[in-house]
Chain A
Amino acid sequence: MHIIIVGGDKIVYFLTRLFQSKGHTVTIINRDYDDCTRLARSLKSVIIHGDGSDPAILEEAGAFTCNAILAITPNDQDNLIICQLGSKRFHITKTLALVNDPDNETVFTKLGVSTVFSITRILSNLIEQQTAFENVINLIPAAGGKVNMTEIILDGESPVIGRRIKDLLFPVNSLITIILRNDEPIVPGGDTTLLENDRIVVMTLPENHAQVIRLLTGEYM
């Protein structure tokens, strides 16, 4: 596969190495002369110094015969125009654009870019995932990963506070094994009511794990 990458400084170096190791051909277009020189010294690929949104430069990079174009300059507008020229002028089927403004993800998709990704969105999703589960700890896979033991602290936002265990729609093959209330262990029965700050240890299987966590914390995995 022949890939054209426009823009990007450090990332383009590692991307190119990665693509080349998988047997792809990469052509790099970069506006900055010093970046081009540095890349040319360290990579075995064609490096073109110029504006990637200039049709003549794209043609020189082999846009008519390439399979994909990746636009990762720091400017959203440049990435859009590069991808549009790629698809409309050079009929490249796969166009990928980086956007800074997450709102531009939808905008660029509507304007014909095949794949749009936002580092802002990716990072914020990662952080949310990490913080959303601060009450879920000690994930222990047992029996070779077939069974999970998970400790959950029920905070004020948990939807199960004040409810009896038998009233919860617990999936089959899952179980609250023990409750630690004020450091006192309680072996729960169906009539046990769950309270705020209870630490509960649940046993789940991979297929119902997410469902149980959601039931107890109200949060999505």
Chain B
Amino acid sequence: MLYIIVIGCGRLGSYLANSLSRTGHSIVIIDKNQNTSRLLNSEFSGFFIEGDATEFSVLKQARIDKSDVVVATTQDDNLNLMVAQIAKQIYQVKRVVARVFDPNREIIYRDFGIETICPTIISGEVFLDAISVPPAAMGGK
């Protein structure tokens, strides 16, 4: 069983929290908006903290020092990157993943050693695959 902190209780954050909680992990999810907790279903047995994850005391309240995994899933790229760095570089959390929408920023931070997932690139590739446009070097004839 792992102690996992999820930042952001949107569609992605709540999905992860529900799934991870179902598989028996201990979850704390943080969102600055209390209303988002309605996205957590009956399978969720963790804790919800209403608070701004850029506030250091909120991360401490979530016991970031004791966590095994931190996943930052908010809509705010910069917030996700900030929390991921605090987790990784200040608290040496073993597994840290940040969602970053901006492909340019994603590449830079991946180079700095922050594990990032870029939904833009992922869905872009899936779309390209679906419409089967051949790469420019080969195509055109």
Residues of A within 8 A of B (CB): 53-56, 75-78, 80-81, 85, 88-89, 101, 103-104, 107, 110-111
Across the interface, do B78 and A77 meet the contact criterion of CB distance under 8 Å?
A: yes
Across the interface, do A80 and B78 meet the contact criterion of CB distance under 8 Å?
A: yes
CB-CB under 8 A for A75 and B54, given A54-B104, A88-B112: yes
Across the interface, do B76 and A101 meet the contact criterion of CB distance under 8 Å?
A: no
Using a Cβ cutoff of 8 Å, how many contacts connect chains A and B?
A: 54
Residues of chain B contacted by A75 (CB below 8 angstroms): 54, 78
By DSSP majority rule, is chain A's interface helix, strand, loop, or mixed? helix
* Additional A-B contact list (12), CB under 8 Å, known A53-B78, A76-B54, A103-B56: A53-B77, A54-B104, A55-B105, A77-B82, A78-B78, A85-B108, A89-B108, A104-B54, A107-B56, A107-B86, A110-B90, A111-B86
* Minimum C-beta distance from A101 to chain B (A): 5
A15 to B82, CA, bound (A): 27
A41 to B104, CA, bound (A): 32
A180 to B55, CA, bound (A): 50
Residues of chain B contacted by A85 (CB below 8 angstroms): 105, 108
Q: Which of A54, A88, A103, A110 contacts B57 (CB 8 A)?
A: A103
Residues of chain A contacted by B76 (CB below 8 angstroms): 77
CB-CB under 8 A for A56 and B108, given A81-B82, A110-B89, A111-B85: no
Across the interface, do A101 and B78 meet the contact criterion of CB distance under 8 Å?
A: no
Residue interface bits B76-94, CB-to-A below 8 A is 1, else 0: 1111011001100110000
A103 to B58, CA, bound (A): 11
Across the interface, do A81 and B78 meet the contact criterion of CB distance under 8 Å?
A: yes
A81 to B89, CA, bound (A): 15
Nearest 10 pairs of A and B residues by beta carbon:
A103-B56, A77-B78, A81-B78, A77-B82, A77-B79, A76-B54, A77-B54, A55-B104, A78-B78, A80-B82
Across the interface, do A101 and B56 meet the contact criterion of CB distance under 8 Å?
A: yes
Task: Provide a sorted-by-A list of 26 A–B residue pairs whose CB atoms are within 8 angstroms.
Answer: A53-B77, A53-B78, A54-B104, A55-B105, A75-B54, A76-B82, A77-B54, A77-B79, A78-B78, A80-B78, A80-B85, A81-B77, A81-B82, A88-B108, A89-B108, A101-B54, A101-B57, A103-B57, A107-B56, A110-B89, A110-B90, A111-B82, A111-B85, A111-B86, A111-B89, A111-B90
